[in-house]
Chains A and B, each alone.
Chain A
Amino acid sequence: MTSGDGATATSDADLLRAHVEGDKQAFGELVRRHRDRLWAVAVRTIGDREEAADAVQDALLSAHRNAARFRGDSAVTTWLHRIVVNACLDRIRRRQAHPTVPLPDGSRSEDRPSGVEPAAPVQDHETALLVREALAALPVDQRAAIVLVDVQGYPVAEAAEILGVAVGTIKSRCARGRAKMALALGDVAHPTEGNQEASSSVPSGPAADRRDQR
């Protein structure tokens, strides 16, 4: 790894290559660059912070070990996200396959986050809370797609690559998930009734305000 001054940042691909070639700092730098986005995807997909932490750790360990297998067919970030998302989905599926004893209030669903994601420190706290709950109630495939596209702002094509499905599938999962959430939320969001097809279509290109750049 030769960069670090920020003026001419080393590319992700260069960092990964350096890691494969034995640079002991390179993978850590790569993780530092993307850890917030990877974490956000994980915690919103899996819903439980402990499980998300485990999933991210597992995923990064796997990426660390298997970096030499990266062929460059996709962006390094896409590859990292795919590994993290798959780790999350694996955990959710294992949870479904090996159900735990329900909590006394019966509030825990096996494919559903436990609702321990922290409250957003925003002014619209109530709405954000309800939106997160509605998101958490979605089937996991729809939730994963919505987290990537609607929450994190990834282009549909990249989300499709991360999840290993067709673009149309992502559009469908996002649209159906949004519709479910719309029904669940009812009038909470106080929508302006009427056709807003243009704005509700799943974006197919890079989002103008891509949140992952924050």
Chain B
Amino acid sequence: MTGAAEFSGVDIDLLADYIGGALEGTPDESVVATLIADDARWRAAYETLGGRMAMVGAELGRLAPEPMPSDLAARLDEAFTAPPRLEVVHDAGPVQKTRKQRRWVTPIAIAAGVVAFVGFGLDYLAGRDNASDTAANSSAAGSAEQSRATPPTLSSGTDYTEATLAVAPSQPLSAASEPGETFSAQKNGDRAATDTTLPELSRLMPPEALQECLDLIQQANAGGPIDVESVDYARFDGSPAVVVRFTAANGVWAWASGPACGTPAGGADTLARVPVR
């Protein structure tokens, strides 16, 4: 550190270390002590800097407390402790939430392991009119936790290309016809064995494996936490792929990852990614 003119000829970092006690028990401690004793410049700097550093410490200690903003505290409360809240309401369509509010819903719920791969939320994913979809709405009341807990997943079998990746799949999950139904993790596993999911992607069916994949996609995206809108077990350019649609700070993305997604070696196993809008 280059010091002010008044400390010319003095290594201020070394002197600060001495004053701050960082040199205690080291050979440099006696070296600096000797310099202070024998060198007028060091002695003057020691006497001046010591006082100023103490004053700085005192001023730092007087900085006003910084309580967490109430909106952030509320978001954390909602994310970690509040009872489940519906994503969709009867007459108002999708609940309007801020980006940050929305993005908390899915990741936390996934992490909590509340597993339901299908549910009324798939109706929402499939593009049904929420305001008029009374079946979905009524089922939401009974499956609120599940509906908001996991990213809607489907096995569309779509063979995406880079040109079509941003286009939402037209085929909803078969279970979407039963909007009130939710599945436990075990049931979900059963579904994995019976539906059209490609066997190469079966590793990514358990929620833990899917979450690891989503984590690495989030990391690869480098846009902060992602709010997963859907996961489609499908293909990309003929190869098995999970196609994840999500919102992050850097936009809305459709992301195709291969079967190795979520593994230490595979990382996000990114095949393609395109902005949705």
Interface, chain A (partner B; CB < 8 A): 24-25, 27-29, 31-32, 35-36, 38-40, 43-44, 49, 53-54, 56-58, 60-61, 64-65, 94, 98, 117, 120-122, 124, 127-128, 131-132, 134-135, 146, 150-151, 153, 168-169, 171-172, 174-176, 178-183, 185, 189-197, 199-202, 204, 209, 211, 214
Q: Complex Cα distance A119/B168, Å?
A: 46
Q: Which residues of A contact B82 (CB under 8 A)?
A: 28
Chain A CB within 8 A of B135 CB: no
Q: Complex Cα distance A176/B112, Å?
A: 43
Interface, chain B (partner A; CB < 8 A): 1, 3-4, 7, 12-13, 15-17, 19-22, 24, 46-69, 72-73, 75-77, 79-82, 100, 104, 107-108, 111-112, 222, 224-225, 249
> What would 20 A/B residue contacts be, using CB atoms closer than 8 Å?
A25-B81, A28-B77, A31-B76, A31-B80, A53-B72, A61-B79, A61-B111, A64-B80, A128-B62, A150-B57, A150-B61, A171-B21, A174-B20, A176-B17, A178-B56, A179-B15, A179-B53, A185-B56, A196-B53, A200-B50
Check A200 against B54 for contact (C-beta < 8 Å).
Answer: yes
Specify which of B21, B55, B67, B77 is in contact with A182 (CB 8 Å cutoff): B55
Q: Complex Cα distance A36/B73, Å?
A: 9
Q: Complex Cα distance A138/B104, Å?
A: 33
Q: Which residues of B contact A182 (CB under 8 A)?
A: 49, 52-53, 55-56
Q: Which residue of A lies closest to B20 (CB)?
A: A175
Q: Which residues of A contact B81 (CB under 8 A)?
A: 24-25, 27-29, 31-32
Leading 8 A-B pairs by shortest Cβ distance = A175-B20, A28-B81, A120-B64, A28-B80, A182-B52, A179-B16, A200-B54, A39-B68
Q: Given contacts A25-B81, A179-B49, A199-B54, is CB(A58)–CB(B224) below 8 Å? A: yes
Q: Complex Cα distance A169/B20, Å?
A: 11
Looking at the assembled complex, report how far the CB atom of A46 sits from the nearest CB atom of chain B, in whole angstroms: 12
Q: Which residues of B contact A175 (CB under 8 A)?
A: 16-17, 19-22, 53
Check A194 against B53 for contact (C-beta < 8 Å).
Answer: no
Q: Given contacts A122-B62, A178-B16, is CB(A64)–CB(B56) below 8 Å? A: no
Q: Which residues of A contact B1 (CB under 8 A)?
A: 176, 179-180
Q: Complex Cα distance A194/B48, Å?
A: 5
Check A194 against B80 for contact (C-beta < 8 Å).
Answer: no
Q: Which residues of A contact B111 (CB under 8 A)?
A: 61, 64-65
Check B57 against A39 for contact (C-beta < 8 Å).
Answer: no
Q: Which residue of B lies closest to A66 (CB)?
A: B111
Check A35 against B76 for contact (C-beta < 8 Å).
Answer: yes
Specify which of A64, A94, A168, A181 is in contact with B22 (CB 8 Å cutoff): A168
Q: Complex Cα distance A49/B57, Å?
A: 24
Is chain B's binding surface mostly helix, strand, loop or mixed?
A: helix
Q: Which residues of A contact B79 (CB under 8 A)?
A: 61
Q: Which residues of A contact B75 (CB under 8 A)?
A: 57
Q: Complex Cα distance A183/B104, Å?
A: 43
Q: Which residue of B lies closest to A91 (CB)?
A: B224
Give 20 new A-B contacts, CB below 8 A, not counting A171-B22, A193-B52, A197-B19.
Answer: A31-B76, A31-B77, A31-B80, A40-B65, A44-B63, A56-B68, A57-B76, A58-B225, A120-B64, A127-B59, A131-B60, A131-B63, A135-B60, A176-B1, A176-B13, A178-B60, A179-B12, A185-B52, A189-B52, A194-B51
